[in-house]
Amino acid sequence: MMQGAAVYELHFRAPLHIGERGIGQEETRDFVPADTLFSALCTLWAFLHGESALNELLARYRDEGREPFFLTSAFPFAGEIRFYPKPLRPPDTSLEFAKRWKSIRWVSERVFQAYLNGEPIRLEAESQQPPGESRRLLLQDGKILIHPDDWQALQAFWNYEADDLRIYEVATVPRVTLDRISNASQIWLFSEVHFTQGCGLWFGTVFGETGYQQPFEACLRLLGDTGLGGERNAGRGLFNFERREWTLHSPSTASRFVTLSPWLPANTEQLGWLRAEGSAYELTLKRGWLGSPHASNLRRKEVWMIGEGSVIAHPPEFRAGQLVNLQPDGASHPAYRYGYAFPVGVK
């Protein structure tokens, strides 16, 4: 069981664009990685509390046991139901189950809890249903797996035209730009996420010291007023937030963990965990522009990280990972990327 953990629910007042690999802005993520969230908060930490306060915050991560806070990535929620990344190692070894498990993107908290405890997970509802009802467990075009007990709470977010759950929609909008020299027009595509009312993104936080909660929330409040992600100057990514307590029961004798944030192993020992039997992970390429006003025209150096939902065959360790400096040539200051795992133990 995690003690002292909190959830922040982000209720978006405008569409969200989080850059994805591709040409231009035609792709967007439907969640916010922890490293993206951390970078945005650090930029505002310097703005609100000063450069020296940010340097002190970052320095504490180099002193084991004094880390100010750890973050998960921000995942979808609908009302009271939170969703988690699907663990990459299927709970059932049968070929048919594994094939269907592969197409799932998110699982509800009840399903995730069952996975942690090693309990059976169903992909289909029981055959005996009330007349006229079809309580499917795979929703949102098969990307979301829910527990049967989640069904009633999600009816407020049901799209009757699509006959499916709709927590969010991804809209691709054509736009036109004019060449500054020739005045020729060119069409380009822009994608953004629209959340259904009562839905949004949530992320979990564990604070090393309670004194960091107030300045953290001040930065988060300013982030909500200035925008998260791309196209902030056009009003994208605005949100309000609510803080809730968070208790997730993890087995006391866990031999593996699922990470809820991108992870960058800090040494050869941690890299060795990936080769252990029972590990299942995927790599994700991290790149992008600096958010600092002093170097916003520069790209960070690229790095490969272990993606959310990866299952690592090692007991959970909360300080596994690192802050890595990806300062590009020409930048006047370091460019740290957050790479700490947020480990949840698996039986």
Q: Mean pLDDT for each 10-residue chunk of the chain (347 residues)?
A: 77 86 59 95 93 94 90 97 97 91 97 95 72 74 95 94 93 68 65 93 92 94 92 84 90 92 96 96 84 63 94 92 83 82 95
The reported pLDDT for the residue numbered 127 is: 56
The reported pLDDT for the residue numbered 334 is: 78
The reported pLDDT for the residue numbered 325 is: 87
| Both tokens assigned to 184 | 């020729």
The reported pLDDT for the residue numbered 28 is: 72
The reported pLDDT for the residue numbered 336 is: 87
Q: Is the dihedral of CA 37, 43, 49, 52 positive or negative?
A: positive
Using alpha carbons, list the distances in angstroms from residue 110 to 61, 81, 163, 276. 33, 9, 23, 28
The reported pLDDT for the residue numbered 295 is: 53
**Residue 273 and residue 226: Cα distance in Å, rounded?**
40
The reported pLDDT for the residue numbered 208 is: 87
pTM: 0.89
The reported pLDDT for the residue numbered 41 is: 95
The reported pLDDT for the residue numbered 224 is: 96
The reported pLDDT for the residue numbered 318 is: 82
Determine whether 90 is exposed, middle or buried from the number of CB atoms within 10 Å of its CB (0-12, 13-18, 19+).
buried
Nearest to 56, CA basis, from 43, 46, 44:
46
